[in-house]
Amino acid sequence: MKDINILAIESSCDETAAAVVRNGREVLSNVINTQIDIHTLYGGVVPEIASRKHIENINPVIRKALKDANMTWDDIDAIGITYGPGLVGALLVGVAEAKALAWALKKPLVPVHHIEGHISANYIADKTLEPPFAALVVSGGHTHLVEVKDYGSYEIIGRTRDDAAGEAFDKVARAVGLGYPGGPKIDKLSKEGNPDAITFPVAHVNGSAYDFSFSGIKSAVLNYLNGAQMKNEEVNKADLVASFQKAVVSALVDHSMMLVKEKGYKKLAIAGGVSANSALRAACEEACKEAGVEFFCPPLGLCTDNAAMIGAAAYYEYVNGTRGAWDLNAIPNLKLGER
């Protein structure tokens, strides 16, 4: 079969990214221009700034992706693009760019769901991974437990009722004074703390065993900090964040293993920014080993937003015949499995 090279673009949040991926598994280039330094000044992503920066960066990023892959446009078979979910203004920059390229170059346009992209990072990491498998997608905007039934076929089994896991990490980090983005900072500081120092509640959602709730843990941390401040007590930040991290990780792992066991899955994959968390990776690995389940996780660089994962997902959508029309729009609240 002829090789299929896809140029993929990702601009749903604060990274402007482009990549060339061959046959969904081989990354020929992966360029990411992160805006983290600018948004750090404001303690979080400022949507208007993100859109403006995407406009400035998108053409150079795409040019570099082609150059790094040692290719010209003639070598590219299709354009893959994240069209949701995400920040509408940020998504629109990528969608408009992808449509313009596909139109001008007469190439097929392949729309990709951002979460499908995160899950597909696992196809790059392990060339043998094939559906069906269970997936835990944990990022700044999403916490989903997903059954990956086939390429492009997903069923969401559990989701967060309030904050996403990454959002909880970011909010707790801000409260403790660690800055943005909080996840990596909490991960690092936790290594110096005692995860059993403080017991934080792991909320269960009534009526839906697979759903998550993280606002309770976040509030418990904030109450703990306020209480200490009122009593003029020093807080051991490392113990605090390690205990918080343990509570979040145990909820994520418990729910994932419940899905794997109840539905008889032999494989569990994790994805999304929070899947870079060292405690989560270790806990999943151990739980899977104990249950005789194969565990998959992307390398750190493919956990957070990137375009290589979009190129991997776009390949399977391309093969399935998914094509974007010229009126393709950015859909900020796009649901997984919907068109």
Q: Using CB under 6 A as the criterion, which residues of the chain lie in contact with ligand KG4 when the complex forms?
A: 13, 139-141, 166, 169-170, 181-184, 187, 272-274, 276-277, 304-305
Burial of 155 per CB tally in 10 Å (0-12, 13-18, 19+):
exposed
Q: Which does 298 bind (CB under 5 to 8 A by kind): Zn ion, ligand KG4, none?
A: none
Among 11, 23, 30, 139, binds Zn ion (CB under 5 A): 139
Q: Which does 152 bind (CB under 5 to 8 A by kind): Zn ion, ligand KG4, none?
A: none
Judged by CB, which is closer to ligand KG4: 113, or 267?
A: 113
Judged by CB, which is closer to Zn ion: 221, or 276?
A: 276
- 305 touching Zn ion, by CB under 5 A: yes
Distance CA 311, CA 81 (A): 8
Judged by CB, which is closer to ligand KG4: 105, or 300?
A: 300
> In this structure, what token pair is assigned to residue 138?
């944990």
Q: Which does 277 bind (CB under 5 to 8 A by kind): Zn ion, ligand KG4, none?
A: ligand KG4
HSE at residue 87, side-chain half, CA atoms within 13 A, is: 20
Region near Zn ion per CB under 5 A, out of 65-73, 88-96, 225-233, 298-306: 298-306
Query: Residue 192: phi, psi to the nearest 5?
Result: -95, 0
Reported as type and span, the H/E element at residue 27 is strand 26-34
Fill in the DSSP letter of residue 334: P
* Count of beta carbons in the 10 Å neighbourhood of residue 33: 18
CB of 72 to Zn ion, least distance (A): 30
Q: Which does 85 bind (CB under 5 to 8 A by kind): Zn ion, ligand KG4, none?
A: none
Q: Which does 160 bind (CB under 5 to 8 A by kind): Zn ion, ligand KG4, none?
A: none
CB of 12 to Zn ion, least distance (A): 7
* Count of beta carbons in the 10 Å neighbourhood of residue 236: 16
CB of 144 to ligand KG4, least distance (A): 11
Concatenate the DSSP letters of all residues of 61-128 into one string: HHHHHHHHTT--GGG--EEEEEEESS-HHHHHHHHHHHHHHHHHHT--EEEEEHHHHHHHHHHHH-TT
Judged by CB, which is closer to ligand KG4: 109, or 173?
A: 173
Binding region for Zn ion (CB under 5 A)? 139, 305
